[in-house]
Structure 1
Amino acid sequence: MASGVKVGDDVKEMFEKMKLDTQSDERIRVMALEIEDRLIRVTDVIRQKDIIEQNTDAFEIFKKIMLNKCCCYMVYDCHYEKCEQGGQEDLVFSMWTPDSATVKAKMHYASSKNALKNVLKGVKHVLQLNSREDIESIHDFATKLGGRVLSIEGKCCGQT
């Protein structure tokens, strides 16, 4: 089911920047997207330098932004370590449709997801998140990445 929602040029531009810049303090680590006027647009961008200035990590910012939205999409440049593969940096695309959102909003985001996924070439993980429990625990989030994740953003996940 297509919603007729289009993906904004700003989304395409920011996503390309996110994929290409993997080293500088200007690199994009978290990008929030929302549907506004039948267009998916970037509403929040967090760069590596912002994370350093806030003395936190990208996972905490990812959670904070997501939990403060009714529904949204997020792209997160996740740095994690797996038992069998060592350190990894992958792009994680998630759709946040909390239980508290209206059925109409949930359906609108769900029916627009494929248009966005078609633009986000190079995303490693696609997650559907519906409750605080899906992301509040670093262990639960690590489970969604699959395999035995030891740490996310340098924080132990408690998996072995």
Structure 2
Amino acid sequence: MSSGVSVNPQCLELYQEFKLRKKYKYIIFKLSDDLSEIVVENSAETGTYDDFLQKLPADEPRYAVYDFDYEKPGEGQRSKITFYSWIPDTAKVRQKMLYASSKDAIRKQLIGLAIEIQGTDFSEVDHETVLEKASRSA
């Protein structure tokens, strides 16, 4: 099921800068106020993982990409482009449905994602959980 939501071109422009030039550490996307398109809410050129998590609202859905750095034993520093579908249990039902049905609109246009994380509460997006997923994926 698709929601008919479009993706604002700025989302893709920032994502290209994020992916190719490593200009951003993360970008957070949300549905526009009229719910017609996905727009950039926030982006940061630097910041820790905790900084990023603090930008995710506790009771509203968001999408995000994060350049996840980690150490792989025997291989050194690695980094993976991680896509987040943040749909907290505490969000309104209508919001949850809209975000769930609109996810593919943006997900399909962000080429080069290595990992996808679905979060319904903060334990599912904590550093250890994502680190485990990053380490498992080749």
| Percent identical residues | 28
Shift of 1:85: 3.7
Shift of 1:68: 4.6
Q: Residue type of the partner of 1:18? A: F
Provide the secondary structure at the position in 2 that maps to 1:19. Answer: helix
Shift of 1:84: 5.3
Provide the secondary structure at the position in 2 that maps to 1:28. Answer: coil
Provide the secondary structure at the position in 2 that maps to 1:121. Answer: coil
Structure 1 unaligned runs (5+)? Answer: 52-56, 149-160
1:103 aligns with 2:101: no
Q: Which residue of 1 aligns with 2:25?
A: 29
- 1:16-48 C-alpha deviation (Å, 9 max, x unpaired): 1111113xxxx1011000001210000101013
C-alpha change, 1:69 and 1:120, in structure 2 (3 Å) is: farther
C-alpha change, 1:32 and 1:120, in structure 2 (3 Å) is: same
Shift of 1:78: 1.0
Report the Cα distance in structure 1 between the residues aligned to 2:19 and 2:128, rounded to whole angstroms: 26
Q: Which residue, out of 36, 39, 42, partners 2:37? A: 39
Contact kept, 8 Å, 1:82 with 1:147, in 2: the verdict is no
Q: Residue type of the partner of 1:116? A: I
Structure 2 unaligned runs (5+)? Answer: none
- Alpha-carbon RMSD across the aligned residues, in angstroms, is 1.7
Report the Cα distance in structure 2 between the residues aligned to 1:144 and 1:124, rounded to whole angstroms: 10
Report the Cα distance in structure 2 between the residues aligned to 1:123 and 1:134, rounded to whole angstroms: 18
Report the Cα distance in structure 1 between the residues aligned to 2:89 and 2:58, rounded to whole angstroms: 13
1:139 aligns with 2:123: no
Provide the secondary structure at the position in 1 that maps to 2:68. Answer: strand
C-alpha change, 1:111 and 1:147, in structure 2 (3 Å) is: same
1:82 aligns with 2:72: yes
Report the Cα distance in structure 2 between the residues aligned to 1:109 and 1:62, rounded to whole angstroms: 19
Count of residue pairs the alignment pairs up: 135
Report the Cα distance in structure 2 between the residues aligned to 1:99 and 1:40, rounded to whole angstroms: 21
TM-score, length of structure 2 as denominator length = 0.89
Q: Which residue of 2 aligns with 1:155?
A: none
Report the Cα distance in structure 2 between the residues aligned to 1:105 and 1:99, rounded to whole angstroms: 11
Contact kept, 8 Å, 2:117 with 2:130, in 1: the verdict is no
C-alpha change, 1:84 and 1:108, in structure 2 (3 Å) is: farther
TM-score, length of structure 1 as denominator length = 0.78
